[in-house]
Amino acid sequence: MAKLKISNEWWTAPAEADNGQLILVTGRRDMDNIIATGDFNIRIDITWRYQPDETGMPDLETAKLMEQATDALQGAFDKDPVAVNTGIYTGAGERNWVFYTRSLHIFQKKLNEALASLPLLPLEFHAEEDADWAEYTQMRETEIADDGED
């Protein structure tokens, strides 16, 4: 079986929470080949609620720990692509990572391995079938088109 080619191109765009606070949306581009496999049907949302500053963002210490967690997760799933991180939302007192996976059991095992070196994190998990990648499609609507100008 050929190795799955997963894009490592990302974009970031601002969005607004219901309360008017800024949310930074970071999304992965070019997921069509992953979607086309039909294998990644389960969406997992990982939420980290934090005490926000006045703009809704985490303090510096929390932000650094979140980036360590993001790097650990990316490294684990890039090496063994049983899941793919498609989006990261930060703002309004929450960091949310969105993954699509083939297997909840294997995802859980890889996630625990990836985060083992970090302190216990206040993470909440939600999983559901999303074979149509509805969340990803909606997130992509947030992307600001690159007009080619610098």
Exposed e or buried b per residue across 2-21, where buried means at least 16 C-beta atoms within 10 angstroms of its C-beta: eeeeeeeeeeeeeeeeeeeb
- The C-alpha atoms of residue 40 and residue 113 are separated, in whole angstroms, by 20
H or E stretch covering 32: helix 32-37
Average pLDDT of span 80-98: 96
pLDDT at residue 5, as a whole number: 86
Supply the range of the domain harboring residue 121: 10-32+39-138
Mean pLDDT of the chain: 92
DSSP state, residue 26: E
Q: 134: domain CATH number?
A: 3.30.70.100
- The C-alpha atoms of residue 73 and residue 143 are separated, in whole angstroms, by 23
Summarize pLDDT for 91-139 with one digit per residue, the tens. 999 999 999 999 999 999 999 999 999 999 999 999 999 999 999 999 9
Residue 64 pLDDT exceeds 50: yes
Q: Is residue 144 part of a domain?
A: no
Q: Is residue 143 part of a domain?
A: no
Q: Is residue 47 part of a domain?
A: yes
State both tokens at 33.
């080949």
